[in-house]
Amino acid sequence: MSQQNPKLDDLSPLAEPQIAAIVNSFEQLISQSDRAFLIGAGCSKCAGLPLTSELTNFVTAATKGATKEILERLIADFAANAATIEEYISELVDRIAISSRRTEQGAAQSKTVIGGKQFSEEELIRALDEIKGAIAKCIDGRETSIGTHWKFIKAVHRALRTGKQTSSAPVSYLVLNYDSLIEDALALEQLPYSDGFYGGATGWWDASTFKTENLVARVLKVHGSIDWSLFENEVNPRRLRTCLNKSTDIPHETLLIWPAATKYRETERDPFAQIAKIMREVLRPGTNSYTVLTICGYRFGDTHINEELSRALRESKKRLTLLVFTAESKPEGILRIWHDDPNLRDQVRIHAKNGFFHSSDIPSVVDLPWWKFEVLARLLGGER
């Protein structure tokens, strides 16, 4: 139990009989099925890393000059919505694509308008690079704690209870964060896994590593990583040790993946298209297979991820179940849509702060801490 904030770590609200039965049921589901985890920014908060909203504020404050102006104009365009830095990056990527296409076609006007002002393709590319650099600085420059992630990995990769057997299929981690906490925890636990790279701290991309024999885990960095870099005239990323990423004698650009529609339309050689393909396979288990996707630390703010999940629920022939852990008091947004859909409700089990929402709802007058990543790690480890 944390000595800093024991109230938040108090598991007693989960001991109420109906709630305790639900905890035992999700443990049973995870242990008897092929397992996948969708890991969002909320899971990195306990390690000392920022939430997406905090990252947005940091980058906005850190940028200067033309980049700051472009970003502020994008923010103004999104004023009616609670957008994040990922949406702003997506918008930049789309605007760059439009400007590039106009230039290639010899259009009279190749610039694009943001907030009433025209910007060239070169200005947008420079702004994108500076924003990605600010993100990397924010994440890579912080001291992090890996204790909770290590505990989580220990719990997932052992029988959840003495005598219970888990699926022999590799666990798939669909990671939306730029940090490497999941990979680091797997390595600390000495578990054979693939994240798509050969090599070590410095490596090269090869999607065939996901098919290596005797893997116990696959890590799919859906939005990329702070240690991914792209060399000139290459399609696939390299992984560079931190000190090399700052080297001036290696011509490269820091590569962070953004939730932009453009990345889903790249060629089959593109690593992000390859990751998306594997992710879709994970979410659509074959005959005689059944997959449980546990979602934690994700606020369902990525339209593309939400669409992937919605399609998978409808196309999986009931062989996919979502265990959702959310800080919301009750289902909202896409969760409400799934919960209210009679064709999907049975496949979506929502563990919210104030209740359990499934085919039969069980509201709670007290806050249930199961939505916290550190609490989930403890529950999966057998603590009550």
Helix runs in 111-237, H state only: 121-140, 147-156, 181-188
Task: Please give the structure tokens belonging to residue 234.
Answer: 């290459």
Q: Which residues pair with 205 in a beta bridge?
A: 197
Estimate the crossing angle of helix 65-77 against helix 85-104, to 10 degrees.
Answer: 100
In a domain, 3, yes or no: no
Q: Are residues 45 and 57 in the same domain?
A: no
Q: Could you tell me the pLDDT band of residue 167, with boundaries at 50, 70 and 90?
A: low
Mean of pLDDT values over 324-349: 97
Q: Are residues 85 and 216 in the same domain?
A: no
Residue 161, burial from CB neighbour count under 10 angstroms (0-12, 13-18, 19+): exposed
Q: Are residues 348 and 268 in the same domain?
A: yes
Q: Are residues 87 and 212 in the same domain?
A: no
* H or E segment and range at residue 366: none
pLDDT at 245: 65
More confident residue, 174 or 128: 174
**Residue 214 CB coordination number (10 Å):** 6
pLDDT tens-place string over residues 77-101: 887 666 788 888 888 888 888 888 8
More confident residue, 2 or 238: 238
In a domain, 89, yes or no: yes
Does 6 have pLDDT greater than 50?
no
pLDDT at 164: 59
Task: Please give the structure tokens belonging to residue 30.
Answer: 């995870």
More confident residue, 167 or 295: 295
In a domain, 5, yes or no: no
Q: Are residues 36 and 81 in the same domain?
A: no
pLDDT at 40: 94
Q: Could you tell me the pLDDT band of residue 151, with boundaries at 50, 70 and 90?
A: very high
Q: Are residues 69 and 26 in the same domain?
A: no
Residues near 384 by Cβ (< 8 Å), separated by ≥ 6? 11, 14, 15, 20, 23
Q: Are residues 35 and 62 in the same domain?
A: no
Alpha carbons 316 and 33: distance in angstroms, whole number: 14
In a domain, 317, yes or no: yes
Exposed e or buried b per residue across 54-64, where buried means at least 16 C-beta atoms within 10 angstroms of its C-beta? ebbebbbebbe
Q: What is the C-alpha R_g of the chain?
A: 21
pLDDT tens-place string over residues 47-60: 999 888 888 899 99
Domain range spanning residue 40?
A: 12-49+144-380
pLDDT at 197: 96
Alpha carbons 326 and 354: distance in angstroms, whole number: 10
The position carrying tokens 């600085």 is 137
Q: Are residues 72 and 28 in the same domain?
A: no
CATH number at residue 301: 3.40.50.1220
Cα distances (Å, whole numbers) of residue 84 to 58, 91, 108, 164, 321 = 11, 11, 33, 42, 28
pLDDT at 363: 95
pLDDT tens-place string over residues 248-306: 677 666 666 655 545 444 555 678 889 999 999 999 998 889 999 999 999 998 888 99
pLDDT tens-place string over residues 219-261: 999 988 888 888 878 888 888 887 776 666 776 666 666 555 4
- Residue % of the chain over a pLDDT of 90: 55
pLDDT at 38: 98
Q: Are residues 199 and 211 in the same domain?
A: yes
Residues near 15 by Cβ (< 8 Å), separated by ≥ 6? 384
More confident residue, 164 or 346: 346
- Residue % of the chain over a pLDDT of 70: 89
Alpha carbons 195 and 29: distance in angstroms, whole number: 25
| Segment among 37-41, 86-90, 203-207, 364-368 with least mean pLDDT | 86-90
